[in-house]
Amino acid sequence: MPSPGDKVRITTIETTEEGILMSSPEENVVLIKLDNGYNVGFNQDEIKDMIILELKKESAPITPKRVETKIGLKTITILHCGGTIASKVDYETGAVKPTFSPEEMLELFPELAQIANIKSRLVANMLSENMRFAHYNLIAKEVEKAIKEGSEGIIVTHGTDTLHYTSAALTFALEGLQHPVLLVGSQRSSDRGSSDASFNLKCAVQFIAKSDFKGVGVCMHAHPDDDVCVILPGAKCRKMHSSRRDAFKAVNAEQIALVDAQGMVEWKNKEYFRSEGTSLTLALFKPDLKVGLVKAHPQMYAEEFKPYFHYDGIVLEGTGLGHFPILKYDNLTKEHEAILEEIKKLAKQVPVVMTTQTIFGVVNMGVYTPGRIQIEAGVLGTQLDLPPETAFIKLAWLISNYTPLEVRQLYYQNLRGEISERRVLEKEGPD
């Protein structure tokens, strides 16, 4: 009888497939992993024949051993926060199994030992949509700890879905940062042949080892192919595709550099924003802070704003130049007057900032009547180009560290390179 981990051939009325047998969450379904990394399930009633091609190979346990420090190589600490970048498949469960120790990392990626001295530890193992402000503080403290321990660079492995939120959060929280901190993820699971996990990690290690970059950046595939990775500014990038390996793009900003797995670095913008100061200090987030993100859409109702009167700040994701439906044109648009009143009341209580759903470009509420009315109502953000996610993080960070008056003033200041120069804004669309 085949067991999970055995290689089997399954024959049905319609097809024959070979793969590694895995445990299935459904009783009547047989699940195998194909050579290309994809999983396929078969209804037991439809299986005509299943034979064992190869018995499961028992993997030898890793024998803990001291990782030797090599003179002349930089020391890089890898902080794991989840995702699939440093994982391998567990055929008993069908899931990817995380690996976090330096020994395990070097077993998976032995070539890293020739590039840098690798340290590695777990911070939080979770899907990235579960991140909260308290986790940003935890990561920031671990970065500080690693630097105090002598690391010359930090890599944070992270799930891709909210990686750009975390990169923005660290950009603000790590004041005076004089070391490289790169967030790295993978779009494809490490058990798939098309996985980008290994390549992204190698490129991140190479970039830290071969460059003098200081600050927070994101390292992901620059193109669909395994040729180079791109280094993006931590507060000016965004995930723009659900599955492509080159999903991350700079937003209203230039790429910082390209790097390949052999360590060839091509600078795109060596004038990237650098933190002032000579030593790292932490400016953390209030863990219990409530910041809302409200998206403009047709058929809006004033009651959609009611839950936010107990919040500390609101980000509005408007249409075009930064508009919400606030004007009454006829009997069908009477609700819009009520929406405007809710926005006015909110703006008197807490900071309310405007962004745009277009992602690229500048919010300009001075062009049309709705925008000018919003400015009069106290909505902040005109002439700024922050993506909604960066605006969300910046507003939360400001509220955590400054007075209400300072929040409204500092929101317009370029604190971490989050506000672009005009020459960058004139470029259209992603790189």
Which positions are annotated as active-site residues? 84, 160-161, 239
Q: How many CB atoms lie within 10 A of CB 239?
A: 21
Question: Which residue do the tokens 């723009």 mark?
Answer: 240
3-state helix, strand, coil split of the chain in percent (to 5) is 30, 25, 45
CA distances from 252 to 44, 97, 255, 417 (A): 53, 37, 10, 11
Q: Where are the beta strands (DSSP E) in 290-366?
A: 291-295, 313-318, 352-356
Of 189, 261, 191, the closest CA to residue 219 belongs to: 261
Length of the chain as a residue count: 431
CA distance 431 to 85: 24
CA distances from 224 to 103, 188, 206, 260 (A): 30, 11, 20, 14
Q: How many CB atoms lie within 10 A of CB 325?
A: 20
Structure tokens at 222: 């620059």
Of 134, 51, 118, 21, the closest CA to residue 79 belongs to: 118
CA distance 180 to 124: 21
CA distance 3 to 10: 14
Structure tokens at 366: 């001075």
Helix (H) or strand (E) holding 321: none
Q: Where are the beta strands (DSSP E) in 153-198?
A: 153-157, 174-175, 180-184
